[in-house]
Amino acid sequence: DTGVSQDPRHKITKRGQNVTFRCDPISEHNRLYWYRQTLGQGPEFLTYFQNEAQLEKSRLLSDRFSAERPKGSFSTLEIQRTEQGDSAMYLCASRSAYTDTQYFGPGTRLTVL
Amino acid sequence: AQSVTQLGSHVSVSEGALVLLRCNYSSSVPPYLFWYVQYPNQGLQLLLKYTSAATLVKGINGFEAEFKKSETSFHLTKPSAHMSDAAEYFCAVSDLNRDDKIIFGKGTRLHILP
């Protein structure tokens, strides 16, 4: 069990550019979650997958955001036409069907200039 | 809708003193409650969780929390603070039987004074 991993850990981009983040969950965890954490706030739920199916999306997830989990393993979160307000820490978590605990990765810190 | 309120965005205690971080929740269904800790530039680590079993929950690093339904509270305590406890602490609520997402409070930053 190597834990949830996220790549990259840091991303600096210019406004208007597209960015993509990757999350690798703990092996055999069928549920995968994305959260966003802005400075001084707690994480806010964005979306989650059960296997490859995206089951829920927060209204925070505008149409510039898209998340995929094509084979039910790793997931990607893409932000198109980034805005300064997108600057945040993007956290990924996973859990198995047999536990009620979500395990979090180290996060990807996005800075939009 | 579920929500969490953490009282005090910053709490300072002396090393060796009692740590008390307050959390009140709102939930229309029996909640699952969690405390997570976040060290600088790191992800969240689960300290402890309440899932309708014992109301006094023991976690890692000497922390514990007590679920009090009548007060809708889930305060986090540790008898004796250590310098390494300095971090951000998040209380969270979830309804795993319904939609599975975790609702976090805004966090409390714990400062340990030497």
- For chain A, the helix, strand and coil percentages under 3-state DSSP, each to the nearest 5: 5, 50, 50
Of residues B110 and A97, which shows the higher confidence score? B110
Q: Phi-psi region for residue A107, left (φ > 0), alpha (ψ -120 to 50) or beta?
A: left
Residue in chain B lying closest to A100 (CA): B96
Burial A38-59 (b: 16+ CB within 10 A, else e): eeeebbbbbbbbeeeebeeebe
Give tens-digit pLDDT for A18-61.
999 999 999 989 999 999 999 888 999 999 999 999 998 888 88
Q: Note whether B36 contacts A44, CB cutoff 8 Å.
A: no
Q: Does B18 touch chain A (CB under 8 A)?
A: no
> What's the confidence (pLDDT) of residue A12?
98
In the chain, the amino acid numbered B76 is L
Q: Note whether B43 contacts A105, CB cutoff 8 Å.
A: yes
Q: How much is the average pLDDT of B63-91?
A: 95
Residue in chain B lying closest to A38 (CA): B106
Q: How far B61 CA lies from chain A's nearest CA (Å)? A: 17
- The answer to whether residues B7 and B106 touch, using CB atoms and an 8 Å cutoff, is no
In the predicted model, is pLDDT for residue A97 greater than 60?
yes
> What's the confidence (pLDDT) of residue B95?
73
